[in-house]
Amino acid sequence: MGGREQRARRGRGGRVAGVVGLAALATLAWAARDVPAALGGRLTGARAERVRRSPQFHDGAFHNPADVRTTIADPGRNLLWELLFGQQRRRPTRPVPLLRPAPGSGDERELAVVWYGHASALVEIEGRRVLLDPVWSDRCSPSQVVGPRRLHAPPVGLDELPPVDAIVISHDHYDHLDMATVCRLWDTQAAPFLVPLGIGAHLDRWGVPADRIVELDWAESHRVAGLTITATAAQHFSGRGLRRDGTLWGSWVLAGTHRRVFYTGDSGYFPGYADIGETYGPFDVTLTQIGAYDRAWPNIHMFPEEAVVAHLDVRGGLLVPVHWCTFNLALHDWAEPVNRLWREAKARGVRIAVPRPGERVVVDDPPAVDAWWDQVA
């Protein structure tokens, strides 16, 4: 009798374990269901041939102007241990304050920037609107179950965005190119997507019509709605899966008849900023990357002090920092990038505006810097 009971218990335990295992596999499959599509498309046909003709492409990949290290390495330092157990305060301790963008004045001479968090921003220039690197998903990851999660909600919904004239993407990393956001935008907006070479393959896979995709190499321009939008150089890398540097990365110039805007995208500091300033500047405002830096990857993200130098190199007027606040992507304190930027800007006599997510900055009348982040850091 006892033996039969033990065998029955073992049988029930085996069935329970089997059910749990199947449930775990089902959960894993559900979590990974969108991953293959999120990885993007492959270069084929005319697009692949155009990539091969690029001066930036050789030996099967895109390259930076200088031979710099783009891998993460810091000998003698355990980055994983620091990530898991480091003492940095990488998240705010209170909710990040969000604002709804104030309405524009209707004056086409007004130049304004709405920063939505991280690198997502709307530039209003000479009556036109350009959306930069929109990411509205909860995670910057191929899966919406795992990966870096937002530290604050988007200040407005995607469906609340006004009609835009162009959507500009700097490169294909997940915190700058998000499949769900792209799919929603091509459905709700009529604007073309302006992207560096190769990224059109991702958009193709996600259903964006071919006539809405404009791929540019560095120094190539496209006219849209009276604006000249030019892809310019940056020092970074690309990749959404195991392969790296199969698509190009870049910075962007937005030029109207009278006003000019520069967006760095992601980049380490490099001498090309002076060339950009000489060729396309001066700029009324720059949107300059300041966050997610570390000495383990100094060539692919600028330190805040370098961001100020880059702004001066391109002959910028007002500096609006981006690429901070929204995602925890590095080992520094959450508020460190903007604090370092503010100190360096004051030392160098550079005007900055540090908006709350959703705040609309009028470039000719920017809000005073009030250190709002200190209240939540």
The pLDDT, as a whole number, for residue 263 is 99
The answer to the question of residue 274 being in a domain is yes
The pLDDT, as a whole number, for residue 80 is 85
The pLDDT, as a whole number, for residue 20 is 47
- Per-residue pLDDT tens digits for 152-206: 999 999 999 999 999 999 999 999 999 999 999 999 999 999 999 999 999 999 9
Task: Tell me how far CA of residue 186 lies from CA of 60, 192, 201, in angstroms.
Answer: 31, 8, 15
Residue ranges making up the domain that contains 251: 114-363
The answer to the question of residue 107 being in a domain is no
The answer to the question of residue 39 being in a domain is no
Residue 138, C-beta contacts closer than 8 angstroms, at least 6 positions apart: 144, 149, 150
The pLDDT, as a whole number, for residue 86 is 87
The answer to the question of residue 322 being in a domain is yes
- Per-residue pLDDT tens digits for 6-43: 655 655 555 554 544 543 443 444 456 679 999 999 99
The answer to the question of residue 130 being in a domain is yes
> How many distinct structural domains can be found in the chain?
1
pTM score of the predicted model: 0.92
Q: What percent of the chain has pLDDT over 70?
A: 91
pLDDT exceeds 70 at position 47: yes
The answer to the question of residue 286 being in a domain is yes
HSE-CB for 261 with a 13 A CA cutoff:
28
The CA distance from 124 to 134, in Å, is: 15
- Per-residue pLDDT tens digits for 137-156: 999 999 999 999 999 999 99
- Per-residue pLDDT tens digits for 70-129: 988 888 898 888 888 888 999 999 999 999 999 988 888 899 999 999 999 999 999 999
CATH code of the domain containing 122: 3.60.15.10
The answer to the question of residue 76 being in a domain is no
For residue 73, what are its two tokens?
């390495």
The answer to the question of residue 218 being in a domain is yes
Beta-strand relationship, 193-196 and 360-362? unpaired
